[in-house]
Amino acid sequence: MERRRLTYDQLIRIVRKQEAIIDDLRFKLQEVRGSYRPDHPYNLTRQEQRIAETLARRPEMVFSYEALFNVLDSDAVNAWPMIKVLVSRVRAKTARDGVVIETVRGMGYRMTRAGAEIYRKRADV
């Protein structure tokens, strides 16, 4: 049985088709898990949205890691790294509009009053 050799262009078409299938499956998986929020202007996951809304409801108030962890429905053992990652993702997704989340060293996080107003206006919170 003779093996057929593919040209470079044929190989590229096959790879792109497979990538499209994988992207489609990844999107569907995110939708099923509830992590993709097409209605949210910042495309935040459910956990990111809970963190952002908690900070925006009480601007200038410092929330400890434990307080933010209690907002989430999570069974994670160590809250600190998880909260740190979620806050950094919220910062990255909302920074373009001027939403500022400050780190209060040794205590936790807070959203500035101006940042909270911008977030609430844009996200209809």
pLDDT tens digit string along 38-96? 555 778 888 888 899 999 999 999 999 889 988 887 776 677 788 999 999 999 988 88
**Domains in the chain: how many in total?**
1
- Report pLDDT for 89: 93
- Residue in this structure with the two tokens 């299938």, named with its chain if needed: 21
Please name the residues in contact with 119: beta carbons below 8 A apart, sequence gap of 6 or more: 52, 56, 94, 97, 99, 111, 125
Report yes or no on 34 lying in a domain: yes
Each as own residue / partner, the long-range contacts of residues 85-89 (CB below 8 Å, 24 or more positions apart, any chain) are 86/47, 86/48, 86/51, 87/51, 89/44, 89/45, 89/48
Write out the E strands in the chain: 101-104, 108-111
pLDDT band for position 28 (cuts 50, 70, 90): low
Domain harbouring 37, CATH code: 1.10.10.10
Report yes or no on 3 lying in a domain: no
